[in-house]
Chains A and B, each alone.
Chain A
Amino acid sequence: MSQPLLQIQSFSVSFGAFRVLNNIHLTLAPGESLALVGESGSGKSVLARSIIGCAGAGARQEGTVLFRETNLTSASDQTLTSLRGGKISLMLQDALSALNPLYTIGRQMMETIALKHPAFAKGAGRAWKGFGRSDKPALRAMALELLHEAGMDRAEECFHAFPHQLSGGMCQRVMLALALAGEPDLLIADEPTTALDVVVQKQILHRLTQNVRARRAALLLISHDLHLVSEFTDRIAVLYAGQIMETGPTRKLLANPRHPYTRGLLEAMPKANTPKGSLRPIAGEVPAPWERDQGCLFRGRCPKALAGCALPPQEYVVENGWASFCGQLPHTTIPHAPSGGGPAYALCS
């Protein structure tokens, strides 16, 4: 199989003494879609931002994030700037506040296209000037096309609108259009549809996944909606308090989760046929920064926790490409698959 597109290895991020992400391992092959799920505050957005080198002021990173051959944690500013919005693009969580209130949608789109679309981005001095008058018609056409691509019905109207004149769904479509402007090989979508109603959610995700598939790009979809995720992704990684709890093929894993946390998440999710009163929220709270140690961070809330859970959790390979980090699972069943035969998305460890 081809070389992985993105390889995150032993990656940690801390703010001061607070370790927000702890020893993350993830791989993403071209054309693959990976879901990253977890409770609020588990570090999903921080992971998304650190991939493009924007973890935040005062963030300390350890480990490597390899995009093809480039190590993003040590890449130069210039390399990162050209990758951002180009080969790797990030759709931010809060769409309305991610658009500049002073400029029309059209202007922001034309700027991004001029700087990021492969057909335009070559011009010297572009990084500063943005675009000239002569580029405008071409940029405009491209912007309208992207808005259509993102599923915007009245693209022309939207082009001339200011951000505050758009609805939440329209803003998200604009964000999608902006993210697609650079024809990314890796699209990271951070809760692209959280504030929207179910119908619009599905429409936007359909557009998004269609575009990604058509170009054989990879998708990292961040969400806490397990139903949505099972519909749109091949693989899933469950994050809790900055640690990966379980990772594997989405449908199989969700049908039969091995980790108590994944099971807890599923039981806390409403389904269409859920009888009233049968939802079981996970008791307790995410451990505070000072309570985080080397052991399994879920043990404080875990129904099956034993003394052994204070040790660093071992990887339990359920099957090829499906691993669960729970100390209670038998650790001998399946030996590590040798490289070559298996899929490239096996967890790196």
Chain B
Amino acid sequence: MKTLCLRACGRAAVTLALLITCVFLGLHLTGDPATLILGFEATPDDVAAFKLARGLDLPMYAQYWRYLGDLMHLDLGKSYVTGLPAIEVFLSAMGPTLHLMLPTALVTLLIGIPLGIVAALHSGTRLDRGLLFVSVLGFAVPNFFFGLLLILFFSVWLGWLPTYGNASWLHYIMPIMTIATSEAAIFSRMARSAMLEGLNLPCVQAAYMRGISRQRVIWFHAFPNALISLLTVAGFFLGTLTAGAVITENIFSWPGIGRLLVVSVAKRDIPVVQLIVLGVGCSLIVANLLVDLLSLVVNPKLRRTTR
């Protein structure tokens, strides 16, 4: 058990190292940061001074080494726009994003899993096809369009919900609805196939053939097996939520990561952009690590090697 946990953590660490290196290479190999940041109108003197100030005149490996050292101290430079440390800018945007994403994830799971299970239990019937239609619709309508529709309906016509910012719980309703609709649409399909897979497992069929009642077989035998295969998908899905918020945060002017990313890219605020890329990557890695550890806890079969 302990070795397996360590192995999962090791995998996460390797991924993290790869991510960090990729971000470094991405920023340093795809173009000269000096021209990228100062713009093409900069004089050679300006460029030289800029390079000297940031150690860009050093050889590549030395720069990489410095970059790692800075990362260790969470010193990722200052935002060019506000002059505040990039990490502060990043963290102040992370809070609102997490506040939005956690309830969204919850709503998504609470809608997606039951819908998927209902579809699986009625697979092949009209209800199943109806749910398929609904989820295709939910997935096919783009977030920016659905968000605008919601604003039009709830804010402009009915005047019930605020459209801007994150001041009260009322502000949360429309962004959550926007993201959760499309995510739940996808997730319900995954839940459906996981549940069907669970129902068709030989051991579930065997339990039914032992004369255990249908309801009990569904909920005590098929469902736990389905949940385990859903767990892996859920990790990936949770990790991408932060990244997927870009559009929705911009529609609702949510002061979160997605909005910060758009603003920073527009203003070429490289340190902040770099930190956001690292942060989103980390959230994926952490989500996957949590899922790995959780499946070690719930799935006895995975614990096999150490018992």
List the one stretch of B67-75, B93-101, B299-307 in contact with chain A: B299-307
A52 touches B224 (CB 8 A): no
A90 near B: Cβ within 8 Å? yes
Residue of A whose beta carbon sits closest to that of B216: A128
Partner of A82, one of B211, B214, B299: B211
Given contacts A81-B214, A130-B216, whether A102 and B209 have CB atoms under 8 Å apart is no
Closest partner residue, chain B, to A116 (CB atom): B211
Is A54 part of the contact surface with B, judged by Cβ < 8 Å? yes
B interface: dominant SS: helix
Closest A residue to B205 by beta carbon equals A54
- A86 to B206 Cα, complex, angstroms: 14
Q: How many residues of B contact A (CB 8 A)?
A: 27
Q: How far is the CA of A193 from the CA of B299 in the complex (A)?
A: 28
> In angstroms, how far is the closest chain A Cβ from the Cβ of B107?
27
Task: Tell yes or no: B240 within 8 A of A by CB.
Answer: no
- Cβ A99 vs Cβ B215 within 8 A: no
Q: Which of A38-82 contact B (CB under 8 A)?
A: 49, 52, 54, 77, 81-82
Q: Is the CB of B300 within 8 A of A112?
A: no
With known contacts A102-B224, A130-B216, A164-B301, A97–B202 Cβ distance under 8 A: yes
Q: A83 within 8 Å of B by Cβ? A: yes
- From B202, B215, B216, B300, A94 is in contact (CB under 8 Å) with B202
- Give the residue name and chain of the B residue nearest to A98 (CB): B206
Q: Which B198-232 residues have C-beta < 8 A from chain A?
A: 201-216, 220-221, 224-225, 228
Report whether B213 and A162 are in contact in the complex, using a CB–CB cutoff of 8 Å.
no
Contact B209 A92 (CB under 8 A): yes
Min distance, Cβ A320 to any Cβ of chain B, angstroms: 35
Given A54-B205, A164-B301, A100 and B211 contact (CB-CB distance below 8 Å): no
Q: How far is the CA of A98 from the CA of B212 in the complex (A)?
A: 14
Which residues of chain B are within 8 angstroms of A84 by Cβ–Cβ distance? 208-211
Does A85 count as interface, using CB distance less than 8 angstroms? Answer: yes
Among B171-207, those with CB < 8 Å from A are: 201-207
Query: A335 near B: Cβ within 8 Å?
Result: no
Could you tell me if A90 and B216 are in contact, using CB atoms closer than 8 angstroms? Answer: no
B215 to A: closest C-beta gap in Å: 6
Pick the contact of A128: B207, B215, B224, B225 (CB < 8 A): B215
Distance in angstroms between the alpha carbons of A6 and B143 in the assembled complex: 62
Contact status A100-B208, CB under 8 Å: no
A97-B203, A178-B210 given; A102·B215 CB < 8 A: no
Pick from B206, B213, B228: contact of A92, CB below 8 A.
B206
Q: Is A165 an interface residue (CB 8 A)?
A: yes
Q: Kindly list 11 other residue pairs between chains A and B, CB separation below 8 angstroms, not including A84-B210, A100-B221.
A: A77-B214, A81-B212, A101-B301, A102-B225, A102-B298, A111-B212, A116-B211, A127-B213, A164-B300, A164-B301, A182-B211
Query: Which A residues contact B (CB, under 8 angstroms)?
Result: 49, 52, 54, 77, 81-86, 89-90, 92, 94, 97-102, 108, 111-112, 115-116, 127-128, 130, 162, 164-165, 178, 182
3 tightest Cβ-Cβ pairs between the two chains A and B: A85-B211, A84-B211, A98-B206
